[in-house]
């Protein structure tokens, strides 16, 4: 049976206090609290700060053994690529992943490329070289430019055993459509919100400030069912993180999958009070 899990893109958000996290919860305990409700998380801080093995081992120690992580690649590998140093960055990134990989808790390495990453020969060669250096890990690629949405790219990813990230984002010219195309045994979906007005040029807080309604989530169920049957592992993450909207929508989708698709979820659907309660003193 396909291993399908739903979580959020990141967990270390102070504006989740009082929405998802109890107001008095120490920041060091955020992940342990998160793991009470979800069995997977996508680490986004690794894009801004190169991770190290010690730091990822510390996070791993705060969650149950069955919990897994997806790790977003550092910006030096996707957005700020220096031809002279990117190979060293790739080596450092691979070294950092060792604790998660060794304990079977690395679900995916996410390579998210910007809109400016165009489909041209130089970038195609770079992508091939980068994927080869990460070949020991489960890899998934998220393109933000529709130029990459071609059968040739899909076939190339499939030959390399690399997953294609499906995205839910605003319906704007140049952005990829939401697809349910599987190119490897690893399926991956990211929900970014549908803020058309703030997508271009806005800061991240405005871009991802969005709450999905029940009908919007339910419309994804056929796509998720397709991906579930076409892959062995499916990870779904909500990136609409402002004010705790991501964990709320992740909980909503878990319930829909469990009730309408009849798929057992781990952990089972749960609810929490809103606002989150204070911890006992």
Per residue in 140-149, is it b (16+ CB within 10 Å) or e — as a string? bbbbbbeebb
For the chain, give the percent of residues with pLDDT over 90: 86
Average pLDDT over residues 60-77: 96
Per-residue pLDDT band at 197 (split at 50, 70, 90)? confident
Mean pLDDT (the chain, rounded): 93
Q: How far from chain centre, in Å, is Cα 190?
A: 6
Superfamily of domain 3-260, CATH level 4:
Protein of unknown function UPF0759 (3.20.20.410)
Average pLDDT over residues 134-162: 97
For residue 29, the model assigns a pLDDT of 97
Average pLDDT over residues 116-135: 97
For residue 270, the model assigns a pLDDT of 53
- Does 54 have pLDDT greater than 70? yes
CB 252 within 8 A of CB 215: no
For the chain, give the percent of residues with pLDDT over 70: 93
Average pLDDT over residues 105-132: 97
CA angle at residue 186 from 11 to 38, to 5 degrees? 30
Per residue in 158-174, is it b (16+ CB within 10 Å) or e — as a string? eebebbbbbbbbbeeee
CA nearest to 183, candidates 79, 108, 123, 250: 108
Average pLDDT over residues 19-29: 96
- Does 229 have pLDDT greater than 60? yes
For residue 204, the model assigns a pLDDT of 67
For residue 147, the model assigns a pLDDT of 97
Average pLDDT over residues 17-29: 95
For residue 100, the model assigns a pLDDT of 98
For residue 200, the model assigns a pLDDT of 87
- Does 256 have pLDDT greater than 50? yes
Q: Which residue has the tokens 């749960």?
A: 270
């Amino acid at each position: 049976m396909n291993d399908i899990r739903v979580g959020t893109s990141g967990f270390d958000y102070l504006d989740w206090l009082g929405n998802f996290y109890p107001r008095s919860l120490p920041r060091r305990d955020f992940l342990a609290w998160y793991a009470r409700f979800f069995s997977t998380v996508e680490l986004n801080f690794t894009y801004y700060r190169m991770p190290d093995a010690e730091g990822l081992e510390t996070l791993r120690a705060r969650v149950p053994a069955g919990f897994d992580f997806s790790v977003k690649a550092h910006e030096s590998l996707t957005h700020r690529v220096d031809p002279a140093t990117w190979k060293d960055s790739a080596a450092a990134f691979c070294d950092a992943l060792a604790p998660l990989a060794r304990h079977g808790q690395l679900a995916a390495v996410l390579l998210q490329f910007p809109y400016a990453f165009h489909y041209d020969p130089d970038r195609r060669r770079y992508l091939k070289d980068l994927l080869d250096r990460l070949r020991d890990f489960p890899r998934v690629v998220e393109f933000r430019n529709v130029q990459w949405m071609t059968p040739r790219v899909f076939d190339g990813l499939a030959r390399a055993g690399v997953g294609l990230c499906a995205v839910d984002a605003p319906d704007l010219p140049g952005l990829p459509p939401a697809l349910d195309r599987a190119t490897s045994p690893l399926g991956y979906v990211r929900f970014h919100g549908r803020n058309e007005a703030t997508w271009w040029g806005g800061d991240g807080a405005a871009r991802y400030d969005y709450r999905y309604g029940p009908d919007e989530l339910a419309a994804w169920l056929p796509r998720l069912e397709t991906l579930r049957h076409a892959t062995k592992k499916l990870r779904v993450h909500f990136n609409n993180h402002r004010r705790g909207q991501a964990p709320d929508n992740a909980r909503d989708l878990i319930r829909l999958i469990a009730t309408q698709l009849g798929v057992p979820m781990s952990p089972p659907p749960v609810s929490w009070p809103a606002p989150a309660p204070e911890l006992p003193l």
